[in-house]
Amino acid sequence: MSPLNIEKGSSSHSAYDLRSHMSDAIETHTLAVLVQNEAGVLARVIGLFSGRGYNIESLTVAEVDHAGHRSRITIVTSGTPQVINQIKMQLERMVPVHEVHDLTVEGAMVSRELALFKVKGKGEHRVEALRIAEIFRANVVDSTLESFVFEITGTPEKIDAFADLMRPLGLLEVARTGVAAIARGA
């Protein structure tokens, strides 16, 4: 995966497609991909990204319709408008892919990530960690005399910010789910 050299949230939310087809500007897009839940489908999608040199910033996958054998893959990716368009087209032509939605251009969306933080500390650090967790509405899901595990939900930016604050307070480990996203309204 090539390194990212873009600012988060730099993508356009305009209702009009004013982007030049030949623009070199890198955009970040969140794609929701509904796939047939069958063996190898995730490998197929990931293989497309690695094989054609596309970026994956975040990827989550889980079955969302057991009876209908549907899984939903949420991919945050980045590239020029032309590359983003190619990514969507290449995903759409895959046989087990049913739908591809570019949530970034299809209107407002909600995107959330869940993370677990293990923080080790004593005394003031421990109190401070709890206080900040409260501000961020993180829950304590495990506690020992010298550690906490916090569960936090929010945008990737919020989780980044929480991580920055926890680091000096004894942050040991982070587990993040990656972004799940859905369009607002119905």
Partner 1 sequence: MTRQMTGAKIVVEALIEQGVDTVFGYPGGAVLPIYDEIFQQNHIRHILVRHEQGAVHAAEGYARATGKPGVVLVTSGPGATNAVTGLVDALMDSIPIVVLTGQVPTFMIGSDAFQEADTVGITRPCTKMNWLVKDTDHLSSTIHEAFHIATKGRPGPVLIDIPKDVQFATGTYVEKSRAKVDHYTPRVKGDTAVITALVEAMEQAERPIFYTGGGVINSGPAASMMLRELVETTNFPITSTLMGLGAYPASGEKWLGMLGMHGLYEANLAMHGCDLMINIGARFDDRITGRINAFSPNSLKAHVDIDPSSINKVIHADFPIIGDVSHVLEDMLRIWKSRGSKTNSAALKKWWRQIEEWRAVKCLSYKNSTKTIKPQFALERLEALTKGMDRYITTEVGQHQMWAAQYLGFEDPNRWMTSGGLGTMGYGTPASIGVQVAHRDALVINVAGEASWLMNMQEMGTAVQYRLPVKQFILNNERLGMVRQWQELLHGERYSHSWSEALPNFVKLAEAFGCKGIMCDNPDDLDEAIKEMLAYDGPVIFDCLVEKHENCFPMIPSGKAHNEMLLGEAETQGVIDAKGSVLV
36 binds partner 1 (CB under 8 A): yes
86 binds partner 1 (CB under 8 A): yes
68 binds partner 1 (CB under 8 A): no
Neighbours of 160 (CB within 10 A): 14
d(CA 91, CA 35): 10
Cβ distance to partner 1 smaller for residue 90 or 177: 90
Do residues 28 and 79 lie in contact, with contact meaning Cβ atoms separated by under 8 Å? Answer: no
111 binds partner 1 (CB under 8 A): no
Interface residue with partner 1 among 8, 98, 112, 176 (CB under 8 A) is 98
Cβ distance to partner 1 smaller for residue 82 or 147: 82
CB 119 to partner 1: min, Å: 39
185 binds partner 1 (CB under 8 A): no
In angstroms, what CA-CA distances link 41 with 76, 88, 132, 138, 169?
18, 16, 40, 34, 41
Do residues 12 and 27 lie in contact, with contact meaning Cβ atoms separated by under 8 Å? Answer: yes
In sequence order, what are the beta bridge partners of 27?
A: 79
Cβ distance to partner 1 smaller for residue 68 or 107: 68
What does the chain come to in residues? 186
Structure tokens at 32: 């929701």
d(CA 74, CA 32): 5
155 binds partner 1 (CB under 8 A): no
Q: At 71, phi and psi to the nearest 5? A: -115, 155
Number of residues that bind partner 1 (CB under 8 A): 20
Interface residue with partner 1 among 43, 67, 108, 135 (CB under 8 A) is 43
40 binds partner 1 (CB under 8 A): yes
d(CA 33, CA 48): 13
Q: Using CB under 8 A, list all residues that contact partner 1.
A: 21-22, 36, 39-40, 43-44, 47-48, 51, 82, 85-86, 89-90, 92-93, 95-96, 98
